[in-house]
Amino acid sequence: MTIRYTTFENLYQDSVSLMQISARINKINGVDEASVAMGTVANLARMADAGFGIDIIAKPNDLVIAVKGEAEACEEAIKVAFEALTAKPDTGNDSQQFSQPLTSFALGLTQHPDANLALISVPGEYATAEAMKALQLGLNVMMFSDNVSVEDERAIKQLAQQKELMVMGPDCGTAIINGIPLGFANVVRRGAIGVVAASGTGLQEATCRIHQLGEGISQALGTGGHDLHQEVGGISMLHGLCALADDDDTQVIVLISKPPAKSIAEKILKMASQINKPVVVHFLGASSSELSLNGVYFAHSLAHSAEVAVAVLNHQDIPAVSTTPKDDTVLANLKTQLTPSQRYIRGVFAGGTFCFEAQIIASQYGLSAYSNTPVQGNSLLNDVWTSQQHTIVDLGDDAFTQGRPHPMIDPTLRNQRILQDAQDPSTAVILFDVVLGYGAAEDPLTELCEVIAQVRRESLTPPMFIAHVCGTDLDPQSRNLSRDTLIAAGVLIADSNADAAHLTAQFISQLC
């Protein structure tokens, strides 16, 4: 095996672009593994841990391409990556081409004085300073960057609060502003429902479901996953709630988060009950059955939050929460196709909130699972690379993405894990998600369907495959086409992540 690497001085690229290029060169025949990243201390350490060697020398503003595999393939991968990194964008005859490179927010505002949002996607150790600069210039901020300390996040958001500005993030991967998708977002119609979410895939699930039900999105604001922690105080969610309350185009508001700190939840719910618009709230895993607040509606799943919002918008009865769309006879027939040793769920997720929601729903059926990101009552996996009993993993977690593209960008690791778990004779169900939209893999299904076909060829009693496709038919990958492709491969398709989890847990309960 050959290891090749090269560095390019002061060639900065944002992390999404780098993950997409990494995914592209990892597909080259003869390449075992490749990584394209900025030369920060953390990234160099991750490359060393991944087996690329310890002799790579680079500065934080340098870009590093490292490849393992056959010698010719490594050289080709470096060439392909370099060409992608240095290709000039096709600007056509646009008269607004920049007269000089934009090297600062101040210069950007000089050329575009009407701009009011800064998108920050730099290594975490530099993100705080850039966010502070943008806020001082009067810009709202979306921070795609992660690895920002809670103390720095609080300082950034307190400054934004003083200036009456919005900070989305750190680690905010999804937003839709004035109809423009940012980060990992889907193509949805404009409409009257606004969303504020401390979860990227949670926001995607809600906005897609609203679109599927015939309504649309006014604004979709991410807050970053730590915003509702006690140390931060829910500053961004509270700001987003107030902004949507004042927005003439928003008639119904949806709030989504994993369970907040108790005092923060109380503060948010109090404000939600005082504004002049209905608010739908879903705090995953939090109990709200005893609460009754004026103008506040509690939902039981990500998809249900969208369903409730659409019903409220149209002055309809609040829909009951769905558990499973499948008839018991379907499950009974499938049960006969398995051996007695096949009894475990193996959940393989690209979306962290989908993994979280699936664990919560499984626990409602008395099923305890192992995970790399366990919810309360579940257990931490002994080895994140090996499933044990019921296992539900988040492949987008840092344990899996260090030195690798996120599985939403490159589903290779997801496909490998599905194959590994499907070949385990104790696996009864493979439960997984497919996330479409901007930033996601252009073709998330071809290799996956090949894996499923391989499992069916090689096993006399293959496990069930149950999936949910998060997206819309306006997305580049098309939700309907993706669902049809998976159905043709023998996968049971649910309308939502919650439905898929309910179906899986109900089926497993019948095996016990």
Counting Cβ atoms within 10 Å, is residue 473 exposed (0-12), middle (13-18) or buried (19+)?
Answer: middle
Cβ(208)–Cβ(471) below 8 Å: yes
CA 157 to mean position of chain CA atoms: 22
Amino acid, single-letter form, for residue 276: N
* Integer Cα distance of 213 and 462 in angstroms: 34
For the chain, the 3-state helix, strand and coil shares in percent, each to the nearest 5, are: 40, 20, 45
**Confidence (pLDDT) at 37:** 82
Q: How would you write 320-343 as a 3-class SS string?
A: CCCCCCCCHHHHHHHHCCCCCCCC
* Integer Cα distance of 357 and 464 in angstroms: 20
The C-alpha angle with vertex 330 and arms to 327 and 333, in degrees rounded to 5, equals 150
* Integer Cα distance of 423 and 239 in angstroms: 48
* Integer Cα distance of 410 and 85 in angstroms: 18
Question: By three-state DSSP, how is residue 371 classified?
Answer: strand
**Confidence (pLDDT) at 3:** 86
Topology agreement, domain 172-321 and domain 328-511: yes
**Confidence (pLDDT) at 329:** 64
Query: Would you give the DSSP letter of residue 402?
Result: T
* Integer Cα distance of 123 and 12 in angstroms: 10
* Integer Cα distance of 357 and 299 in angstroms: 13
* Integer Cα distance of 466 and 504 in angstroms: 7
CATH number of 2-86: 3.30.70
Question: By three-state DSSP, how is residue 500 classified?
Answer: helix
Q: Name the CATH topology of 101-171.
A: Rossmann fold (3.40.50)
- Successive 10-residue mean pLDDT values, the chain, 512 residues: 84 73 86 85 80 81 87 88 73 48 82 92 87 96 91 96 96 94 94 96 97 98 94 96 97 95 93 96 76 86 97 94 64 78 96 96 96 96 96 92 83 95 97 95 95 96 96 96 97 96 92 74
Residue written as tokens 């508001």? 253
* Integer Cα distance of 309 and 279 in angstroms: 8
Neighbours of 374 (CB within 10 A): 17
CATH number of 328-511: 3.40.50.261
Amino acid, single-letter form, for residue 364: Q
Instruction: List Cβ<8 Å contacts ≥24 apart for 456-460.
Output: 456/490, 458/423, 459/422, 459/423
Question: By three-state DSSP, how is residue 193 classified?
Answer: strand
**Confidence (pLDDT) at 106:** 87
Neighbours of 470 (CB within 10 A): 28
Domain positions in the chain are 2-86, 101-171, 172-321, 328-511
Please identify, in words, the CATH class of the domain defined by 172-321. Answer: alpha beta
**Confidence (pLDDT) at 238:** 97
> Strand order in 2-8's β-sheet?
2-8, 63-69, 31-38
* Integer Cα distance of 393 and 414 in angstroms: 10
Largest CA distance in the chain: 69
Cα distances (angstroms) measured from residue 163 to each of 43, 138, 157, 166, 366: 34, 7, 10, 9, 48
